[in-house]
Amino acid sequence: MKNKRVGSVEQEVKVPAWIQILGWLISLSAFAVGFWHAHLGLKQFGFLSSQYGSFVIAGLILMVLIVAYNRAMLGVKSAIYFYLICALFMFIFNMNSFYPTYLGEKLIKEDASAMKDTLTKYTAKLKGVSEKQDGSTIKTIGILNDIKESLLNEIEGTGINDFGPKAQGFLIDFNRMAGSDLSSGSETIGTSKDLAAKKNRWRSKLDAAIRNWYIASNPNLKNGAEIITANLKLDSVNKAYAPLLENIMTDTATIDLSNPSKLKQVVTMGQAASQFDIIGKGVNEFLAKKDQLPKLNDEVNQVAFPPTKELGRFAHTISSVKQRINKIDTWGIIILCLFIDIVVPLAIYFMLRGNKNNEEFTSVFKGRKRNFTHND
């Protein structure tokens, strides 16, 4: 290694062979970990139309990295730049492996929370807009909605083939106030799934009756029918999906992240977002810009809602890291990848660099050797 000056006498400091071997073992171990996670981070690109294509690309990066690192250790100073470029590639693709693996479940829960907040916020906002349309009918709409919910709860609570006495009473009250002629009829219910389907059918019937009453009561109200219809639909979506989203947020079961787009939790969020967008598309043209519903699946976005549908893909990782850059767990993954791909190999490089015998440095462009050892 470099000569160390003691007074006027220069002494050559040599690194023991076993330390050099240990140093290389440490660096190669870091390279091996980086190679494996680079392969995992590259899988989504589908190189060579094969699941093994990522091994080829990660292997190419690894081989160039090791050659550059070796040349830098032997004294080719400019080789360190080639090493750093390869290490940067390793770092990026390692992030695309570590980030979704260790934060995937948390990201899914955060998406569920965001979807629930969006439904709650814009349901209340659209309700406020619809109330401004005609204050004289809001009280009646509120009463009709209360009767509707009581009727739906009674249907779910009884679980019988036909309406019970209380449900019949609620339906009579509803028909009288809404001017509708809905009939309870008779439906066979074999399972809880049949009961849920019956409840959903009646929700649609009752919402339609409320809308028809509103239109009939306010024939000259500009855009009122569209806004009240959107309000009822969004309220129904919120009530249908809020409990499901809450369950995703609080569920402690381990989630299999091997195929995020097909996860039940992700599919549920996608369905809620799709319903939200359909309502927004139908009503936004009638609303002031400040009151419009946002488009969750905007064509200009690389990552549509829920973002975790693209979990493990490069675009999602970059986008999510940028959004969560102020989170400690995000920095934990960044620091881990930096440590494996850059800090460990560079630490060994600075401790072992140079020729072990006589500080001979080889030019990156010429093959001749230059001896920088000072002789007494």
**Mean pLDDT, residues 143-154 taken together:** 85
- Length of the chain, in residues: 376
Distance separating alpha carbons of residues 49 and 254, to the nearest angstrom? 31
Query: Does residue 127 register a pLDDT over 70?
Result: yes
Low-confidence winner among 80-94, 219-233, 338-352 (lowest mean pLDDT):
219-233
- For 162-208, the pLDDT digits (tens) are 567 788 888 889 999 888 888 876 655 555 666 777 778 888 888 88
Which two three-digit tokens encode residue 250? Answer: 């609080």
Instruction: Identify the band that residue 357 occupies on the pLDDT scale cut at 50, 70 and 90.
Output: very low
More confident residue, 215 or 296: 296
More confident residue, 206 or 13: 206
89 membership: H or E segment, kind and range: helix 79-133
Q: How far is CA 310 from each of CA 100, 253, 319, 330, 344, rounded to the nearest angstrom? A: 10, 21, 11, 18, 31
Please, are residues 321 and 95 in contact by the beta-carbon 8 Å criterion? yes
Distance separating alpha carbons of residues 145 and 139, to the nearest angstrom? 10
For position 11, what pLDDT does the model report? 47
> Cβ–Cβ contacts within 10 Å for residue 320, how many?
23
**Mean pLDDT, residues 120-137 taken together:** 76
Please, are residues 341 and 91 in contact by the beta-carbon 8 Å criterion? yes
Percent of the chain with pLDDT over 70: 80
Query: Does residue 16 register a pLDDT over 60?
Result: yes
Q: How far is CA 318 from each of CA 67, 286, 295, 315, 360, rounded to the nearest angstrom? A: 29, 36, 21, 5, 43
Distance separating alpha carbons of residues 239 and 105, to the nearest angstrom? 24
- For 31-71, the pLDDT digits (tens) are 999 999 999 999 888 788 877 889 999 999 999 999 999 99
Query: Does residue 318 register a pLDDT over 80?
Result: yes
Q: Of 195, 201, 196, 197, whose CA–CA distance to 161 is shortest?
A: 195
DSSP 240-285: HHHHHHHHHHH--SPP--SSGGG-HHHHHHHHHHHHHHHHHHHHGG
For position 365, what pLDDT does the model report? 38
Query: Does residue 348 register a pLDDT over 80?
Result: yes
Q: How far is CA 199 from each of CA 157, 172, 181, 188, 241, rounded to the nearest angstrom? A: 11, 17, 18, 13, 15
HSE-up (13 A, CA, CB side) for residue 205: 16
Distance separating alpha carbons of residues 153 and 319, to the nearest angstrom? 42
More confident residue, 299 or 231: 231
Query: Does residue 333 register a pLDDT over 70?
Result: yes
Query: Does residue 6 register a pLDDT over 50?
Result: no
Most confident of 48-52, 152-156, 218-222, 291-295: 291-295
For the entire predicted model, the pTM comes to: 0.69
More confident residue, 112 or 141: 112
More confident residue, 217 or 373: 217
Instruction: Identify the band that residue 83 occupies on the pLDDT scale cut at 50, 70 and 90.
Output: very high
Query: Does residue 307 register a pLDDT over 70?
Result: yes
For position 373, what pLDDT does the model report? 45
Average pLDDT, the chain: 81
Instruction: Identify the band that residue 266 occupies on the pLDDT scale cut at 50, 70 and 90.
Output: very high
Please, are residues 309 and 270 in contact by the beta-carbon 8 Å criterion? yes
For position 282, what pLDDT does the model report? 86
Which two three-digit tokens encode residue 263? Answer: 């996860």
Low-confidence winner among 5-9, 123-127, 281-285 (lowest mean pLDDT):
5-9
CA 162 to chain CA centroid, nearest Å: 44
Instruction: Identify the band that residue 302 occupies on the pLDDT scale cut at 50, 70 and 90.
Output: low
